[in-house]
Amino acid sequence: MHAEIERASSPSRCFVVGVTSAVYGEGKTTIAMNLAGTMAQNSVQRVALVDGNLRNWDLQLRLNLPPCVGLVDYLEGKEDDLDNIIQHTELENFVLIPAGRAAINPSRLSRSPRLMEFMNEMRMRYDFVIFDMAPILPVADARVLSSVVDEIIIVVRAGITPREIVSRAIETIGSDRVHGVVLNGTETSMPRFLQRYFL
């Protein structure tokens, strides 16, 4: 994914990738975290991971962050300084922006002019922004947020999500916006008696 995203990006401008899924439980947050971390570790480019799921703070919980201000506070106008919502990591070129808390009205926030201000500022500061979004079909604001990113990666859980559901999600955001699909939770095709030699 890292190599594919680098090929699709331009060296002269920030590239924003939204990571989403058709429905809940596909593993999109894990994929977003791993992708952003891998990009930061394997390059000198400036990478930001943003929790764009305005309905919960799953990323925050996963990363064990203490209660703090985040994207929701910035979009609601309760925090004006972007530096105050940025969480630095042990890697100099990698930062996190948590949601902070659940939004009272996520749909309204996703249409806020402050979202474009936020995105413009992020594009000036970083080379790559990985945006962990809410799932497309159950959440209307995810469809709005998909319009502010350059391309989208859809995460699909193997053997769980029906093909029609995935097709509907792709149609909803537009197939031209989808950079690729990640098949998550696949089983190896290697015979079980051989697996022990490779684990």
For tokens 């630095």, name the residue.
Answer: 88
Residue 135, in any domain of the structure: yes
Dihedral angle sign, alpha carbons of residues 170, 172, 174, 179: negative
Residue 122, in any domain of the structure: yes
pLDDT at position 191 is 59
Domain containing residue 76: CATH number? 3.40.50.300
Residue 138, in any domain of the structure: yes
pLDDT at position 187 is 67
Residue 170, in any domain of the structure: no
pLDDT at position 144 is 84
**Backbone phi, then psi, for 149, in 5-degree steps?**
-100, 165
Domain interval for residue 47? 2-6+33-150
pLDDT at position 58 is 74
Residue 90, in any domain of the structure: yes
pLDDT at position 152 is 94
pLDDT at position 189 is 58
pTM: predicted TM-score of the whole model, two decimal places: 0.88
Residue 172, in any domain of the structure: no
Exposure string of 7-26, with b = 16+ CB inside 10 Å and e = fewer, is: eebeeeebbbbbbbbbbeeb
Number of compact structural domains in the chain: 1
- Taking alpha carbons only, the member of 56, 69, 183 closest to residue 132 is 56
pLDDT at position 198 is 46
CA distances from 42 to 4, 99, 150 (A): 14, 26, 22
Neighbours of 66 (CB within 10 A): 7
Residue 195, in any domain of the structure: no
Residue 84, in any domain of the structure: yes
Q: Give the residues of the chain that fall short of pLDDT 70.
A: 187-199
